[in-house]
Structure 1
Amino acid sequence: MSILGARKINVMESDTIAEGSVISFHDINYVVETRKFPFSKPTKKVVLENMTGCFKPGLNAILGPTGGGKSSLLDVLAGRKEKTGLTGNILIDGLEQPDNFKCMSGYVVQDDIIMGTLTVRENLMFSANLRLPKTTPDKQKAERVNGVMEDLNITHVADSKVGTQFTRGISGGERKRTNIGMELIVNSSILFLDEPTTGLDASTANTVLELLHNISRKGKTIIFSIHQPRFSIFKLFDRMMLLSKGLPVYHGPSSEAALYFADIGYQCEPMNNPPDFFLDVIIGDSTTVSSVENGSAVASGTSKDPEAVTVDYRARSIIFNNKYLNSTWAQKVREETSDIFTEYKKKKDSGQKTKLQSIDFATGFLTQIYYLSQRALKNVVRDLAAAVMQMVVMTIFALLIGAIFFDLPKDEVKGVQNRVGAFFFFVMTQAFINFSAIEIFIRERVIFQHENVSGFYRTSSYFLSKVFCDLLPLRALPLIVFALIVYYMLGLEDTAGKFFFFLLTLYLTSVSCCAICLAMSATFETLAIANIATSLIFVIMTLFSGMLANIESIADWLEWLKYFSLMRFCLQGLLINEFEGQYYTKNENGTDVLTKAGESYLKEQEIDFGTDWNRWVNIVALASISVGYFTIGYIQLRRMKKLK
């Protein structure tokens, strides 16, 4: 190890670290199955192999080339990988991870996923209200939020909106620190961060890591993946693990990494950035020639053949892994982790407690709904563009329909035909005006996945808050305006009972359309596919509405689809409401004769009428369709893949 010129990197001297949690991992292997095509035979891919190590309070970095396994190891340690294909043991302070460890630790994802319409303080208070124990007084929550903002140096933007893609907000560095603050609120002893410097300029990245360094001195174990840090960031690290093709090639104090590479024959020049040098050596791009392996498989140089480069890279990774495993640094790690695991086995064999106590959600179901609803309403109020556009479009449609069908006559032919045409247009308007609801879960999918996995709230709480504070209210007011305009411009039956039945029918139609859009939004990840699926459902429902083809003339093996057509039930409800008991005029030899042409039309279409149930059965059917698709949406939300 005493190579001439080998240097030990001086870490920041500030620097006593308070006691905190130790996370150790023992013989971790992670294998996934991949397919080239949907129905092709799966092949196994080794993502992590023989990973053993230990992270202590302080800054712990996981470095490596792209595809080296950094994020995979981070997610495995954080309990955010599916258990399939994962073997080995992960211990927290010598005890097994509980199944919901991801709810007990903090995890900052690579992309900033916070609600842009809320202020920095409101986002942090949202985290505090849902993740701190329900017995915590509001004053103490506010103090915790203020303390986190001071630690992260974001007090000056506390009351500024974070910003969305359409509205300007705080800077990228301030967004990143707010994202970190959301996890620091719970004051967990372990914090994970996936590429915390991604998207930040060099100065801002340095500021973020300095803040994390200061926080780690308080006894917090901070573990993060990072690709190629500058030297000023690298010297903040306490420990590091260097990966290549899922294999460890160094694990130990970051200040000794250059000494290790010098010991195996790779000298880092004084003016070279150590992390850049390490990666160059691993992937074979270094211009530094090995002083101990003349011409061996690890010698510098790259192949022009892409396949050869891949083979060389894998071969180099194995050789560097073997060198590390035979080093004194690996020996120290084995001794350290062996002591921890031996103590764990003793406890397990003697029947002592060997698993950390798991925690449930910090707050109750109703409390979660309250704060989620509060956030949803703020989001709607502060992002009025969609709501205003919904109102404007519905008003324009209403005026257009009112102008076309203005003051409908009670003529036997024109009166009936125009009413049927207008009602069909009403139904189609409700179907396609609600396409905007498809965005509901697609737009917030990433936020929901992260917050749900991190233990902010239950899936049911989120779902109900979106339905009752976002979907339903946004559709109610525009629909009332629409109904008032068209009902009286068209001159439909002027009784309160019939108007409110008309309004209820249209509203339930709108809700049913929303429920379908919501179900597709929860099922598909991309807006385009969700749009296609929703359009297909609406087209099929329209075909079986009874307007374009007589239901009784449809083939028997397809006729059952009529029971799933919301257009059919809406049309039937509107037609019965308007035609039942009403007289229309028919000119016979210059004399107007009263006929029940509307009821005749209902008979022709084989629509049952004459009793209250014949009318209200359509309301029940629409409500059932709404509940059915809302249920599908909820099930799909629960089934949504939240772990990587």
Structure 2
Amino acid sequence: MGPSGSGKTTLLDILADRTSSGIVDGAVLVNGKPRDKNFRLLPSYVAQEDSLLGSFTVLETLRYAAQLSVPSGLSSVEREARVQEAIDDMGLRSCQHTIVGDIFRKGLSGGQKRRLSIAIELLSQPNILLLDEPTSGLDSTATYAVIKYIENLSKQNRTVICTIHQPSSAVFHMFDNIMILSQGEMAFFGPPAQSLAHFTAWGYPCPQYTNPGEYFLQLVNTDFEGHRDLSAITAGFASSQLSSSLRASIEQDRTALGTNTSLNLHELRPSSFAQLGMLLHRNSLNNLRNPGVYGIRIAMYVMLSLMVGSVYVFNKKEEDLTALLFYVQAFLVFMSVAVLPFFIEQRVVFIRERANNSLSVLSYVIANFIAALPGILLIAAISTGIVVGLAGLNSFGYFLLNLFLSLVVAESLMHVLGAVARHYIIGIALGAGVFGMFMLVEGFMMPCKSIPAGWRWVHYIAFHSYSFKSFMYKQFEPMGTPTSKAILQRFDMKMLMSTST
């Protein structure tokens, strides 16, 4: 427990071995021994932010999660039993067929999403369960039910640690031990029943009819004027009998358990191949259901293709077709940046699943790539049909293949940016910058030989360059007219012409 910024989440991250920055002093012991590389297989972590895919229902979300996290030795019947049990334990039965929801569709409430996040981590029946603000967004009844279930878990030889902001009096007394933090310092640790006597002994009696949890948080909150002397409170606990007993208990456990070097690890997760099949199914269904992934993009591509195609319905001048081909290659491919926000939405789910050792990175990457291909092919086919049909271009098949491959490369680049950009706006800005640079040097604005030597290397790494040359060659080479030959020569395609002849 502790006010905002007291270090609760940081402490959980340290215990879970998930710190990505800063310097950690001290030691974390498991069964009296320092953690080893296998420790990360032990805990399941329910983070403060809910990481869920909005296109799936509660039941579907849990079934997919079970296929990733439940030991491979369990049968499908046993796996389904765990799913149904988690639904009942977290009070999600009434909304099991409700979608999670996203910016396009209304779905679960904040409290229901919180309970769903907890239910996901309960499927694997972890030996260590860490929960960061598990009651955030829950009403008092749901809070009591969730904490009661967590209390029952702790009585099944499981270690359960959670942070909590402002528990009711009933919830406060359900914990075996509470730690009160403020500014990273420990103001109390011990059974809730002993907290009242401790603070009373140091001159901070809890007023009658006051929730102890609320009072203690007010006591250690240093954000506002008139706060108590925190150093006196922490020093009081450090010199108390409770603190001495705690240190002696830790030392006794270290001595008693020092010879126990084996950890009770999870059973094996499903194989990478099994995960690949599940992830391919989940990602394909998510792409189909989420209107932002391909639905809106298809509408945009149809509109743009109709516009550019209709402009060239009656304009068959060979010189003007070069601008058309540049537009198709540059701007239709540029529209791939629109999918970036949805890749970042999927990334937060990937991070959660990966952090809890439920996911093979290779399986995820392959599944994501394959699941995207049908949508990309549909976009390429629709755009090709409209543009080639209206503008009367040559070689439908080559045009489709070229556009499809360009979109595949562009979407793959968006996957990379989605993996490294902290926010989708940053990712879109980076994507626009990269595509803008590639468009500038692909050969339409100026031939490669005219590009300054310091920038010429960009021409060779830009996939736009090869795609544009292919569009140009397949359009003008079959014509064989003096104008078409002159166009190819202007765009440095003499070698292609001589090879063809």
The reply to whether residue 111 of structure 1 matches residue 23 of structure 2 is no
CA distance, structure 2, for counterparts of residue 261 and residue 385 of structure 1: 55
2:422 aligned partner: 525
Q: CA deviation at 1:452?
A: 0.7
Please give the residue correspondences for 1:562-581 in structure 2 after superposition, counting only pairs within 5 Å.
Answer: 562-581=459-478
Residues 71 and 267, structure 2, Cα contact 8 Å, conserved in 1: no
CA distance, structure 1, for counterparts of residue 499 and residue 233 of structure 2: 79
Question: Paired residue for 2:191, among 250, 253, 266?
Answer: 253
Q: CA deviation at 1:360?
A: 8.6
Query: How has the CA–CA distance of structure 1 residues 302 and 398 changed in structure 2, closer, same or farther, with 3 Å as cutoff?
Result: closer
CA distance, structure 2, for counterparts of residue 514 and residue 146 of structure 1: 37
Query: How has the CA–CA distance of structure 1 residues 163 and 612 changed in structure 2, closer, same or farther, with 3 Å as cutoff?
Result: farther
Question: Paired residue for 1:444, among 328, 346, 349?
Answer: 346
Query: How has the CA–CA distance of structure 1 residues 555 and 381 changed in structure 2, closer, same or farther, with 3 Å as cutoff?
Result: closer
The reply to whether residue 479 of structure 1 matches residue 380 of structure 2 is yes
Q: Secondary structure at the match of 2:253?
A: helix
CA distance, structure 2, for counterparts of residue 135 and residue 355 of structure 1: 22
1:431 aligned partner: 333
Q: Secondary structure at the match of 1:153?
A: coil
The reply to whether residue 597 of structure 1 matches residue 489 of structure 2 is no
CA deviation string 1:130-177 (max 9, x = no partner): 112222211110112112222223233323322223322233333222
CA distance, structure 1, for counterparts of residue 289 and residue 318 of structure 2: 45
Tell me how many residue pairs correspond in the alignment: 501
The reply to whether residue 321 of structure 1 matches residue 259 of structure 2 is no
Residues 71 and 124, structure 2, Cα contact 8 Å, conserved in 1: no
Query: How has the CA–CA distance of structure 1 residues 172 and 565 changed in structure 2, closer, same or farther, with 3 Å as cutoff?
Result: closer
The reply to whether residue 223 of structure 1 matches residue 161 of structure 2 is yes
Can you give the 5+ residue segments of structure 2 that lack an aligned partner in the other structure? none
CA distance, structure 2, for counterparts of residue 145 and residue 175 of structure 1: 16
CA distance, structure 1, for counterparts of residue 450 and residue 222 of structure 2: 73
- The aligned amino acid for 1:431 is V
Question: Paired residue for 1:419, among 321, 329, 352?
Answer: 321
1:370 aligned partner: 277
1:28 aligned partner: none
Residues 114 and 136, structure 2, Cα contact 8 Å, conserved in 1: no
Q: Secondary structure at the match of 1:89?
A: coil
Q: CA deviation at 1:566?
A: 2.5
Q: CA deviation at 1:83?
A: 8.3
The reply to whether residue 406 of structure 1 matches residue 406 of structure 2 is no
1:381 aligned partner: 288
More helix by share: 2
1:339 aligned partner: 252
Q: CA deviation at 1:185?
A: 0.6
CA distance, structure 1, for counterparts of residue 454 and residue 109 of structure 2: 60
Query: How has the CA–CA distance of structure 1 residues 72 and 538 changed in structure 2, closer, same or farther, with 3 Å as cutoff?
Result: same
Q: CA deviation at 1:317?
A: 3.2
CA deviation string 1:391-446 (max 9, x = no partner): 2222222222221111554xxxxx22122121111112322221113224322232
- The aligned amino acid for 1:416 is E
Query: How has the CA–CA distance of structure 1 residues 612 and 478 changed in structure 2, closer, same or farther, with 3 Å as cutoff?
Result: farther
Q: Secondary structure at the match of 1:248?
A: strand
CA distance, structure 2, for counterparts of residue 614 and residue 188 of structure 1: 65
Please give the residue correspondences for 1:26-37 in structure 2 after superposition, counting only pairs within 5 Å.
Answer: none
More strand by share: 1
1:550 aligned partner: 447
CA distance, structure 2, for counterparts of residue 107 and residue 389 of structure 1: 35
CA deviation string 1:311-330 (max 9, x = no partner): xx7xx333322221221211
Residues 132 and 186, structure 1, Cα contact 8 Å, conserved in 2: yes
Q: CA deviation at 1:609?
A: 4.5
- The aligned amino acid for 1:566 is F
2:261 aligned partner: 354
Residues 240 and 253, structure 1, Cα contact 8 Å, conserved in 2: yes
Q: CA deviation at 1:84?
A: 6.0
CA deviation string 1:500-530 (max 9, x = no partner): 1121111111122222222222221112222
CA distance, structure 2, for counterparts of residue 578 and residue 280 of structure 1: 75
Flag the structure with larger Rg: 1
CA deviation string 1:522-554 (max 9, x = no partner): 221112222222122122112212211232222
Question: Paired residue for 1:282, among 220, 226, 241?
Answer: 220
CA distance, structure 2, for counterparts of residue 140 and residue 449 of structure 1: 27
CA distance, structure 2, for counterparts of residue 441 and residue 402 of structure 1: 30
2:413 aligned partner: 516
Deviates more, 1:155-164 or 1:370-379: 155-164
1:139 aligned partner: 77
- The aligned amino acid for 2:151 is H
CA distance, structure 2, for counterparts of residue 531 and residue 564 of structure 1: 20
- The aligned amino acid for 1:487 is V
Q: Given the two structures, how large is their TM-score scaled by the length of structure 2?
A: 0.92
- The aligned amino acid for 1:441 is F
1:155 aligned partner: 93
Residues 120 and 159, structure 1, Cα contact 8 Å, conserved in 2: yes
Query: How has the CA–CA distance of structure 1 residues 499 and 218 changed in structure 2, closer, same or farther, with 3 Å as cutoff?
Result: same
CA distance, structure 1, for counterparts of residue 489 and residue 221 of structure 2: 79
Question: Paired residue for 1:456, among 358, 378, 381?
Answer: 358
Query: How has the CA–CA distance of structure 1 residues 205 and 332 changed in structure 2, closer, same or farther, with 3 Å as cutoff?
Result: same
Q: Secondary structure at the match of 2:345?
A: helix
2:36 aligned partner: 98
The RMSD of aligned alpha carbons is 2.5
CA distance, structure 1, for counterparts of residue 499 and residue 67 of structure 2: 47
Residues 90 and 97, structure 1, Cα contact 8 Å, conserved in 2: yes
CA distance, structure 1, for counterparts of residue 364 and residue 53 of structure 2: 14
CA deviation string 1:292-341 (max 9, x = no partner): xxxxxxxxx945xxxxx7xxx7xx33332222122121122122111111
- The aligned amino acid for 2:297 is Q
Q: CA deviation at 1:188?
A: 1.4
The reply to whether residue 505 of structure 1 matches residue 402 of structure 2 is yes
Q: CA deviation at 1:182?
A: 0.6
Q: Secondary structure at the match of 1:88?
A: coil
Can you give the 5+ residue segments of structure 1 that lack an aligned partner in the other structure? 1-62, 286-300, 304-308, 348-352, 410-414, 585-595, 616-644
Q: Secondary structure at the match of 1:223?
A: strand
Q: Secondary structure at the match of 2:26?
A: strand
CA distance, structure 1, for counterparts of residue 288 and residue 443 of structure 2: 40
Q: Secondary structure at the match of 2:277?
A: helix
CA distance, structure 2, for counterparts of residue 418 and residue 269 of structure 1: 84
1:212 aligned partner: 150
Q: Given the two structures, how large is their TM-score scaled by the length of structure 1?
A: 0.73
Query: How has the CA–CA distance of structure 1 residues 89 and 554 changed in structure 2, closer, same or farther, with 3 Å as cutoff?
Result: closer
Q: Secondary structure at the match of 2:454?
A: helix
CA distance, structure 2, for counterparts of residue 401 and residue 79 of structure 1: 54
CA distance, structure 1, for counterparts of residue 491 and residue 267 of structure 2: 56
1:491 aligned partner: 392
Residues 74 and 194, structure 1, Cα contact 8 Å, conserved in 2: yes
Q: CA deviation at 1:100?
A: 4.4
Q: Secondary structure at the match of 1:538?
A: helix
CA distance, structure 2, for counterparts of residue 342 and residue 83 of structure 1: 32
Question: Paired residue for 1:606, among 489, 492, 496?
Answer: 492
CA distance, structure 2, for counterparts of residue 537 and residue 215 of structure 1: 51
Q: CA deviation at 1:577?
A: 0.8
CA distance, structure 1, for counterparts of residue 29 and residue 173 of structure 2: 28
Residues 96 and 356, structure 1, Cα contact 8 Å, conserved in 2: no
